[in-house]
Structure 1
Amino acid sequence: MPHTSAEPFPLIAAIDLGSNSFHIVRARTDHGEIRILERMGEKIQLAAGLDESRMLSEESMERGLDCLRRFAQLITGMPRGAVRIVGTNALREARNRSDFIMRAQHVLGHSVEVISGREEARLIYLGVSHSMPDMPGRRLVADIGGGSTEFIIGQRFEIHQRESLQMGCVSYTKRFFADGKITQARYGQAYTAARLELMSIDQSLREKGWQEAVGASGTIRAVALAIQAAGRGKGEVNADGIEWLKRKIIKQGEIDKLEIEGVKPDRRAILPGGLAIMEAIFKALDLQEMHLSEGALREGVLYDMIGRQHHEDVRERTLSALAERYHVDKRQAERVERRALKALEQVAEPWGLTSEAYRELLTWAARVHEIGLDIAHYQYHKHGAYLIEHSDLPGFSRRDQQMLALLVRGHRRNIPRDRFAELGEEEGESLIRLCILLRFAILFHHIRSNQERPAVTLKAGPRSLEVCFPVGWLEQNPLTQADFEQEAQWLERIGYHLSVR
């Protein structure tokens, strides 16, 4: 189920299922601001459990689930909508992520979203921009995670560019320092691999330009603390300090023998890969220093939740931009949206669609169901579904996009029941019912007219929908009658009976 923008909650929580660490933060909300009550984090190294076929090991999943059992105590009794849980690179990559997600949801009692790299970047920037002093110029924000590194250029709260690269402190340490040996050659290989990744974005970032560089991850903080402890900095990361730290870890030669003041033992285990990425970033972007931010992804998630609660939902802007880009007939979309929501009100109880999340999903689908027409009329529902599933949609999780794409795919002609079933039996059935309501609204406004339409009554059974028109109306509108007769045949294919009278 998509995350709901429910009424404001006085207590909210965000859980970040990172590739290296899992974190939870709880906060109180106060007039659009957050007051942090508690933070907790544990090193899980989920990314280290990915094998060559991108399958998470049972051992790594159990490490994560053990941590979540402890986190669960902190969110016991918190209502749906007050807790948001996001998974990042390791779960994006894992082919068996659904197994872990189902078990995690059972432990926590709340849904888990896997977010794209660019959505992760947006949330990181939101967390950073709320936690640092305001400045007139642009900021470059970098976050080295366990499996990916995000880059954002923005000014105040506006993002100008956001990128996500497949390189992280856990994955690079596993790839280049698997046996724990640190040599000049291996470090050089890790550094070169990071420079090659950066080649795809470094020029565009430099062209944008920035006045301040900010780091927002544990790796960057660990490097800064090591540099400060050695008297080579005042809490920032600097180019000279990186060079000194590189020489130091190569001289010590083995991960197990690393002794670096200011760096915790569990962070030392993944320092070589993270430092190589850090040096590559400094060289590729010609940086001399980088300051630290206390806020990052999980704080960004909290502020995003507050924005949704106060009707400043980035998803609304995203869909408006999408509709504009693909020249959607806005009046028709509004007609379909109103009719679909009226239908939902009548059948929400018997069909188990009372959650605000379902209302949101139906609203979104009505607004963008015709975007595929801008590509071609033939099979436009499939074009639209592809665009939604594969576009960069700020504010939406991957599952949100998958569900929205399915509704658009199923809004006309055949409903692909097997695709809906991939979401799970209960969720898939709920989504099919939403799809039926969307199709009803579209048929009702087939002729794209503003003329007043009759009030209809809907009655829903477990596998049936009865539509009651005013006496004599259908006989006077044979096109609508024919549409609904055809629709009954389509629904019969998926085991639903539609009766119209």
Structure 2
Amino acid sequence: MTVVARWEWRIFGDAFAVAQRRLTATVPERVEHSDEIYVVARGSDASVKLRGGKLDAKRLLRVDPEGLEQWVPVLKAQFPLTAADLGGVLELLGVPGEHAGAETADAFLALVAREPDLCAVGVHKNREHYTFAGCMAESTELRTAGGAIHTLAVESPDRERVAAAVSALGLAGRSVVSVPRALKALVGFATARAAVIDIGTNSVKFHVGERGAEGRWRTVVDRAEITRLGEGLSDADELAPDAIARTVDVIATMGTEARSLGAARIAAVGTAALRIARNASDFTTAVHDRCGLVVEVLPADEEARLASLAAVADLAPEADRTAVFDTGGGSTQFTFTRGREVEDRFSVDVGAVRLTERYALDEPVSEETLGTVYRAIEAELAVLRGRGRPDVLVGMGGAITNLTAVRHGLARYDPEVVHGTVLTRHEVERQIEVYRRRWAAERRGIVGLQPARAEVILAGACVVRTVLALLGADALLVSDRGLRHGVLAERFGRLTNGHARGRPVAGIVDH
């Protein structure tokens, strides 16, 4: 039998009514009802199920940068199972061991029942099968003793076809959730998950982490969406109604996604724009009423401390004198450490959005204007003078990760390539020259630059260049980690069975 790996996209929940209507606009090719038993594991997301007296096992080969999953069949067998087949299935589930085989399905399930890290879940499926955009597609209801869930799926051996079909359904960018992961969340057998929503002046960052039994966090989702919450804030000291509305829309979508992915708790934190705006309470009230989330507005020094946590531990654990800065749309945070001791931390109200609006940096600018911008930033960052060059300078934030993605020519953002890159002052100045000669619309064609950052990238690059100059540094280490990772580590560092035992804060909501 020829084994064919297939790309799969799948989501769960009920927030895809429009896509459902597009898929079901025609009569299904067939309707199927079945009773199956899935075997799910704490330490593996492999797909193993019993159906019609056969054991079916699939392994996740890889996940592409857009989240599509490629699965390959590894076993389709009748009982009795040989020792080799049984051993292979158990190894796939993360519980290898010596076994003589399994004569019957009942014997296999009895073995599963003896393993504390395995769980058998009975599922009744009601499936409608379609062909959509050249792919197999299905709309399915799964019923278990723990409740019922609805799923939409598209699959094909051709990855591009699956991506095109998902886009045609209007669901591009939604996080993929496999059947085993969804079932584990439904019956309470999943590893602990938590989410952080970091609401900045220019963007909203969304992170879902999964903490395994060994205590390590694994990234499930990590992305940012540009909402420009602080647009016009420097002129009016108030958040604009349109900026509030579009940001709340994004947060609502993220909250729904976090819950669908099984996040036990969600922390929502706000930064510079919400510290400055006179009507910040209008925004936090809107988020609470719409999303059920309490936004914790972080004091500037707390934001700096949390942002530096993950970066120092990951990139500079042994350095004597370390400086970490996180530059955003409305402010820049600094933390200076010697060994493990924090010597100083503070926040300065200089950020890319405010500079862009003040000096029209979304359009071509002269060298004279650029000099004026540098002098203005240097004046705001005068507190850095005389501190001397640190042993390690770590930079984080959207401006720095975008500069790094451009430096690598990343058509698709890859955090593993960006994280740990040495970004030189020469490279920052080279890019400044590119951006200052172009309109925002022209900058969007630069490979590696997130299109929504085209307006503010020049301002952000100017801040980075000035920090390097004032600290006498020729380069910095790039951290793809940030505030959201610090919040995750501190707020949920001891998350067990869905309950946080770390520091309680107003912005954490149970789900």
Task: Write the mapping of 1:243-254 to structure 2, written as runs, cut at 5 A.
Answer: 243-250=429-436, 252-254=437-439
Question: Alignment partner of 1:47: what SS?
Answer: coil
Unaligned 5+ runs, structure 1: 1-8, 316-356, 358-395, 401-501
In 2 relative to 1, CA 157–11 (structure 1 residues): closer, same or farther, beyond 3 Å?
farther
TM-score, normalized by length of structure 1?
Answer: 0.56
Q: Is the 2:234–2:354 Cα contact (8 Å) retained in structure 1?
A: no
| 1:138 partner letter | R
The answer (yes or no) to whether the contact 1:131–1:295 under 8 Å persists in 2 is no
Task: Output the CA distance in 2 between the equivalents of 1:116 and 1:22.
Answer: 18
Distance 2:462 2:361 in 1: 15
Aligned mate of 1:236, from 419, 422, 436: 422
- Aligned partners of 2:267, 2:438: CA distance in 1, in Å? 41
Distance 1:80 1:39 in 2: 14
The aligned residue for residue 468 of structure 2 is 282
Secondary structure of 1:134's counterpart equals: coil
Look up the match of 2:207. 25
Q: What CA deviation, in whole Å up to 9, does each residue of 1:153-198 have, x standing for no partner?
A: 2256542221211111111111111663422222222211110011
User: CA offsets, 1:274-315, max 9 Å, x none?
Assistant: 111111111111110111112110000000113476999997
Structure-1 separation of matches of 2:492 and 2:338 = 21
1:224 maps to a residue whose letter is T
Structure-2 residue corresponding to 1:226: 406
The equivalent residue for 1:256 is: 441
Which string of whole-angstrom CA distances, capped at 9 and with x for unpartnered residues, describes residues 450-492 of structure 1? xxxxxxxxxxxxxxxxxxxxxxxxxxxxxxxxxxxxxxxxxxx
3-state SS, counterpart of residue 393 of structure 2: strand
Aligned residues of 1:227 and 1:235 also touching (Cα < 8 A): no
Q: Which moved more, 1:97-106 or 1:33-42?
A: 33-42
Q: 1:53-452, aligned counterparts within 5 Å?
A: 53-76=236-259, 82-132=265-315, 134-155=317-338, 158-177=341-360, 180-203=363-386, 205-206=387-388, 210-229=390-409, 235-250=421-436, 252-258=437-443, 259-307=445-493
Amino acid paired to 1:88: T
- Aligned partners of 2:265 and 2:362: how far apart in 1? 43
CA distance in 2 between partners of 1:97 and 1:159 (Å): 30
Please name the residue that 2:194 is paired with.
Answer: 12
The question of whether the paired residues in 2 share the 8 Å contact of 1:213 and 1:291 is answered with yes
**Counterpart secondary structure, 2:489:** helix
Which residue identity is paired with 1:26?
V
Cα pair 2:428 2:461 within 8 Å, conserved: yes
Q: Distance in 1 between matches of 2:257 and 2:338?
A: 35
- Given that 1:151 and 1:163 are in contact with CA atoms closer than 8 Å, whether structure 2 keeps it comes out as yes
Q: Secondary structure, in 3 states, of the residue corresponding to 2:406? A: helix
Unpaired segments ≥5 residues, structure 2:
1-190, 411-417
Contact 1:140/1:213, CA 8 A, preserved across alignment: yes
Q: 1:124 is aligned with what amino acid?
A: A
SS in structure 1 at match of 2:492: helix
Equivalent AA in structure 2 for residue 11 of structure 1:
R
3-state SS in 1 of match to 2:258: coil
- Distance in 1, matches of 2:391 and 2:241, equals 45
In structure 2, give the amino acid aligned to 1:249: Y
Taking structure 2 as the reference length, the TM-score comes to: 0.55
- Sort the Cα spacing of 1:246 and 1:131 in 2 relative to 1 into closer, same or farther, 3 A: same
State the AA in 2 paired with 1:219: A
Q: If each structure's helix is expressed as a fraction of its own residues, which one has the higher value?
A: 1
Distance in 2 separating the partners of 1:256 and 1:187:
20
Distance in 2 separating the partners of 1:174 and 1:88: 19
Q: CA deviation at 1:133?
A: 5.9
**Cα pair distance change 1:16/1:41, threshold 3 Å:** same
**What is the count of residue pairs matched by the alignment?**
307
Which aligned segments of 4 or more residues in structure 1 are displaced greater than 6 angstroms?
Answer: 77-81, 310-315
- Structure 1 distance, partners of 2:330, 2:202, is 8
Q: Secondary structure at the match of 1:139?
A: strand
Would you say the 8 A contact 1:182–1:254 is kept in 2? Answer: no
Identical positions, percent: 26
Q: Is the 8 A contact 1:187 1:272 kept in 2?
A: no
- Contact 1:182-1:272 within 8 A present in 2 as well: no
Quote the Cα distance in structure 2 between the aligned partners of 1:86 and 1:99. Answer: 15
Residues 333 and 345 of structure 2 are in contact (CA less than 8 Å); yes or no, is this contact kept in structure 1? yes
Residue 200 of structure 1 and its aligned partner are, at CA, apart by 2.1
User: Following the alignment from structure 1 to structure 2, what is the Cα–Cα distance between the partners of residues 312 and 109?
Assistant: 18
Structure 1 residues 166 and 17 mapped into 2: Cα distance closer, same or farther (>3 Å)? same
Conserved? CA contact 1:48–1:170, under 8 Å: yes
CA contact (8 A) 1:129 1:157 kept: no
Displacement of 1:136 in angstroms is: 3.9
- Taking the aligned partners of 2:460 and 2:222, their CA distance within structure 1 comes to 23
Answer 1 or 2: which has greater strand percent.
2
Structure 1 contact 140–153 (Cα < 8 Å) conserved: yes
- Which residue is equivalent to 1:415? none
**1:33 deviation in Å?**
3.0
The answer to whether the aligner puts 1:38 opposite 2:221 as a matched pair is yes
Tell me the distance in 2 between the aligned counterparts of 1:123 and 1:47.
22
Q: 1:182 to 1:253 in 2, by over 3 A?
A: farther
Q: What is the RMSD computed on CA atoms of the aligned residues?
A: 3.2
What secondary structure does 1:274 align onto?
helix
Deviations 1:324-377 (A, max 9, x none): xxxxxxxxxxxxxxxxxxxxxxxxxxxxxxxxx7xxxxxxxxxxxxxxxxxxxx
For the 8 Å contact 1:68–1:107, the answer to whether it is kept is: no
Q: Secondary structure, in 3 states, of the residue corresponding to 1:152? A: strand
User: Quick one: structure 1 residues 100 and 242, their matched pair in 2 at CA, closer, same or farther if it must change by over 3 Å?
Assistant: same
**Aligned mates of 1:267, 1:91 — CA distance in 2:** 20
Partner deviation per Cα, 1:121-165 (whole Å, 9 max, x = no partner): 000011213433632433211111010011112256542221211
Q: CA deviation at 1:223?
A: 1.8
Could you say which residue in structure 2 is the equivalent of 1:430? none
**Using the alignment, how far apart are the partners of 1:307 and 1:99 within structure 2?**
31
